Every structure is written in structure tokens, then in C-alpha cells.
Structure 1
């Protein structure tokens, strides 16, 4: 839980570094999104990449999109991820050159 709080704090600080609607992570811009079925918005998949620009930045962008998604639809940043939150960044789930985070917004 402590690591999740630190990640969210870091995301908030990183968000202030963006230009306009784009947000920079670790000095790079990443293509990132969070998607969920319309009838089950609490269950989402957040992706970001390319990892080749930097895995830490891609992971931060994916966590940021996950957090934005849950705040938009549920008014909370409480998320239960499908993986152990203590997982090292380089071991997070991937699909090719993208980080893939599956989770559920907690009401």
C-alpha cells in the first residue's frame, strides 16, 4: 500500500510537468490510455508505451491513466490491480512494447 501511495504522489508531481493536455513522464511523452467496457467501467485495462523510450516512464504513464480513469468514473483513486503492487517496474505485464495494467476501481 505504501508503494502505491508513493507512485500516486509521483504521478501527481509528474503531471504538473506536462504541456497542455499532454503529460511528460521521465522526460518523454508516451501514448497511454485506459479502456473499459461501457457496462463494467470499474474493470479497466491501462496501457502505455513505447517501453523502448523508458520503462519507468511508460509504467508511470499507465498508472496515471488508470488513476484518471477511476477518478473520472468513480471519484476515487483506489485501485485493486491484477498484479502485486510491489512488483518491480521491469516485471510489470507487457504486450510487445507497451506496459499493460489490468485493475478494478474500488468504490
Structure 2
């Protein structure tokens, strides 16, 4: 009986470790990226990424990834037309507090 309890505990611990390792890291860090549609349009969106203080490079990559995943899932294309994108010069990026704000559109939108 103790063997099964110990085995179940080990399996549970390994499952917990695996879940944490499935996170996508950008520049070695994890970020919260939240995509929202603009004015109920499915093709136009904003992405808020935080905390940008971990790494500006990583925050840019996390925002770009979030937008790409959205465009692929909604429109079948990884293309993004940025109006305020991650490739802008550092001083042109919209940063509010510890959050990077990006805006773009998926081509082929409705």
C-alpha cells in the first residue's frame, strides 16, 4: 500500500513540474500577454504585455507571439499588420507603468 501511495505522490509531483515547464519563455522570462479586440472588430486588436521591466526584448517577443497565435486561430494566417508594433524603436513604444502596449490587425479580416 505504501508503494502505491509513494508512486502516486511521485507522479503528482512530476505532473506539477511538467505543467510549469510548458510555459513559453521570451528572452528567458515569462510574461502575461492579454489580447483584446478593438471596438468588437475581430481583425483589429491590442496586446498588453507585462511586466516589461523583466526584459523589453522579451516583452516585444511575447506580444508578437500573442498576436500571431490570434491571427492564425481566427484567420488562418500568421501575418500581422502592426499600427504600433514590437519592431518600433524603443522610444516609440507605448509603455504604461510596467506594461507594453501594442496594436495591430490581422489581414483578411471581416
TM-score by length of 1: 0.72
Name the SS of the counterpart of 2:84 in structure 1: coil
Unaligned runs of 5+ in 2: 1-19
Deviation at 1:50, TM superposition (A): 0.6
The number of equivalent residue pairs is 89
Q: For the pair shown, which has the larger CA radius of gyration, 1 or 2?
A: 2
The yes-or-no answer on 1:75 pairing with 2:76 is: yes
Of stretches 40-49 and 29-38 in structure 1, the one that deviates more from structure 2 is 29-38
Which runs of structure 2 are paired with 1:41-80 in the superposition (5 Å)? Answer: 41-80=42-81
TM-score by length of 2: 0.70
1:51 & 1:95 partners in 2: Cα distance? 10
Unaligned runs of 5+ in 1: 1-17
Which runs of structure 2 are paired with 1:29-40 in the superposition (5 Å)? Answer: 29-36=30-37, 39-40=40-41
The yes-or-no answer on 1:26 pairing with 2:12 is: no
Query: Which residue in 2 is equivalent to 1:99?
Result: 100
> For the aligned residues, what is the CA RMSD?
2.2
